[in-house]
Structure 1
């Protein structure tokens, strides 16, 4: 009986410790972040660095900026929204869904023309005319209806006088990540993608790119806002500060983003 009692006490203590450990883990605040797909690689690193620095957890969902606005309007429980432009965060402020004082232009993105390694196209030499190369059957861009990089791609095509000539060959990704996947997988021969994707190791190893001149499309000023229904507004501000003044700033620069004056 004595041995059973001691064993039972030992099991009881183990259970208490286990529950205490689980309780401690679950008490760590979790920040729900909606991030534009051009941040796929950069924000993944930023979130990991922020978690390591603060002990908090960050759950990041990636997608088209316009699609996130629709989700947030419908009640999606995000705390913080990083858009690929400024217009969508401003729209959330105008509709009362985001905190005006939290608006932060964190970076400016760039558009590139990208081809896989096996392509016969010399994009650095041919520049936008590469889109007319005989090997090009499909051109990948993000959907301009809700993806800022898709809108920028259409503007670049129009300013170069090529839109009508390639319009029938456009394949639209739901977001810039899907557009990149189209070119990597061979479902498109060339793509107008984000510099942040082209700068990421997986794509650096698989292709080459040419930077589209900044005067060919409206500036891709990218902004973030804290959502009004967030229960972790203070933590959301901490992540913004981490990008303004901490390690996040260097990560963005490494992926080709130009930091705004606010983030410097």
Structure 2
């Protein structure tokens, strides 16, 4: 009787475990500047494929450390290609991945802010000189690529030495954008993609910063060693014309296109 019961139970458990495995979402890690664009793209992919994605956003450097320490991500979209290349050198990826976009920086404030925004940061310089600037947001340059680019911009403008005591560092560029657009700070330097979203665009003032003021924000994605078929499908989906158009709409420049 016990033998017969076990013969019946074993296939049922196999079906149950298979169903659970199929229901588990594929884990994607993405740079924080992709929050709005990937929310749109992942929803579209899930509707078309029937597969489920679990997207975790953060600073690219912090995500890289998590992957090195064994985090079970299957696809990584970095805001700085260097992190992907380091993971590839360490043997943690399928290959070196592909460039998927080049990002841009902006200075941004809430709509009613007194700080004047302009591409050459003259308004920021004037506010700093007059003592009117109290708090200014950037991402933490220790592990956020957009934070490092913001530092380069401020140094190029000759403001770095004077503005350091005013800086409020976001854990990633998305948090810095929240500080800069909510009124928690007088403004900030963040990713263009985070102010181009429908939720934000009409509530802020912003100006794009010249690309010549900082290192290129080349963004690369890669499949990790344990990538499943859903991760591979999403990786391919992100390179298709429809997805590229959505990236473009959020202010990214696509591979093969002029800046």
Which bracket does the TM-score occupy, shorter chain normalised? 0.7 to 0.9
SS of 1:201 mapped into structure 2: coil
CA RMSD of aligned residues (A): 2.0
SS of 1:77 mapped into structure 2: coil
Give yes or no for contact 1:131–1:139 (8 Å, CA) kept in 2: no
Pair 1:128 & 2:121 matched: yes
Pair 1:88 & 2:89 matched: no
**Alpha-carbon distance between aligned partners in 1 of 2:17 and 2:116, rounded to the nearest angstrom:** 56
**Alpha-carbon distance between aligned partners in 2 of 1:91 and 1:225, rounded to the nearest angstrom:** 11
* Larger-Rg structure: 1
Tell me the CA shift for residue 167 of structure 1. 1.2
* Unaligned segments of structure 1, at least 5 residues: 1-19
Q: What is the TM-score normalised by the length of structure 2? A: 0.86
Q: Partner residue of 2:209?
A: 212
Report the count of equivalent residues.
Answer: 239
Tell me the CA shift for residue 28 of structure 1. 4.6
Which residue, 50, 66, 69 being the options, matches 1:71?
66
Pair 1:111 & 2:108 matched: no
Q: Deviations over 1:137-171 (max 9, x none)?
A: 11100000000000000001111111112111111
| Structure 1 runs, 4 residues or longer, greater than 4 Å off | 20-26
**Alpha-carbon distance between aligned partners in 2 of 1:261 and 1:21, rounded to the nearest angstrom:** 47
Q: Partner residue of 1:223?
A: 220
Q: Partner residue of 2:232?
A: 237
Q: Partner residue of 1:200?
A: 197
Q: Partner residue of 2:146?
A: 149
Residues 1:229 and 1:25: Cα distance change in structure 2 (over 3 Å): closer
* Unaligned segments of structure 2, at least 5 residues: 1-14
Residues 1:111 and 1:53: Cα distance change in structure 2 (over 3 Å): same
Tell me the CA shift for residue 23 of structure 1. 7.4
SS of 1:27 mapped into structure 2: helix
Tell me the CA shift for residue 261 of structure 1. 2.2
